[in-house]
Amino acid sequence: MKIKLHLLCIPLVFVMILSGQLAYYAIILFSLLWHEAGHLIAALLCGVKVKSCVITPYGGEIQFENPAVVQASSLLWIALGGPIATIIGIGLAFFMPELLATRLISVQLVLLAVNIVPIIPLDGGRIFLAWLFLHHPKAQLVESYYWLSFIVSTILLFITLLFLPQSIFLAIIILFIWLQAWKEWRYRKYRIAFEKYVMNRLT
C-alpha cells in the first residue's frame, strides 16, 4: 500500500509558514494521519485490501485493490472509521498538556465537522452513499446525489470566498473539496455505470 501527500497540501504549508503557524500545521497533519488511520484500520478489519491512500487537506482518499468486490456494509464501516478515529483522538487529547490539547481538540473538531457534511467526497457523503447502496440501490438516486454534492460544494466555495483573506486556510480546504466534487460529478456517468454493476451484485 502506498501513502502519498496531495499537492494541494503544499499551499497550506506556505500559508502556515507565512503566518508563523508551522507548528499548528504539524498538528493538522498529525490529525489528518490519525483520521486516515481510522479508515485504514476499518478496511483491515473488514478484510478489504487498500491499494493507496492519498492524504488531502481535509482527510484522505483511499483506493481499493478491487472495488467491485467491496460490500456496501464494508464501505459504510470504512467511511465511519475516520470520524470514529477523530472522536477517539479528541478524547485522548484531554490527557495531554493543556496548550497542546487545546489546539489538538480544536483541529480535530474542525476536521470532524467538515468530514461529516453529507456530500461527496467527504466521509459524510461516503457514509450516505453506502447507506443508499444498502437501502435504496437505484442508479437515479445515486446520480441525483452526485448533482446535489456538486451544487452544495459550489455554494460552500462561494460563501468561503466572500470572507477572503481572513478565511484563506478554510478556502483552500473548501476549494479542494469542490475540485473533488467536480471531478466526481464530471465522471459520474462512468462511476454510475460501475455502481450499477455493484448494485446489481448486491441485490
If one counts every other C-beta atom within 10 angstroms of the C-beta of residue 114, the result is 19
DSSP SS3 for 143: helix
Confidence of residue 203 (pLDDT cuts 50, 70, 90): very low
pLDDT over threshold 50, residue 93: yes
pLDDT over threshold 80, residue 101: yes
Helix-helix angle 72-93:98-115, to 10 degrees: 160
Helix-helix angle 123-135:188-202, to 10 degrees: 40
76 Cβ contact list (under 8 Å, min separation 6): 127, 130, 131, 134
pTM of structure: 0.79
* Percent of the chain at pLDDT exceeding 70: 76
- The values of phi and psi at residue 103, to 5°, are -70, -40
Helices (H), ranges, 51-187: 72-93, 98-115, 123-135, 139-161, 168-186
Instruction: Categorise residue 155: left if φ over 0, alpha if ψ from -120 to 50, beta otherwise.
Output: alpha
**Which residue's C-alpha cell is 466555495?**
157
pLDDT tens-place string over residues 169-201: 677 778 888 888 888 777 766 666 655 555 555
More confident call, 54 vs 43: 43
Every domain of the chain and the residues it spans: 2-202
Listed range (25-29, 50-54, 114-118, 158-162) with the worst mean pLDDT = 25-29
Q: What's the mean per-residue pLDDT of the chain?
A: 80
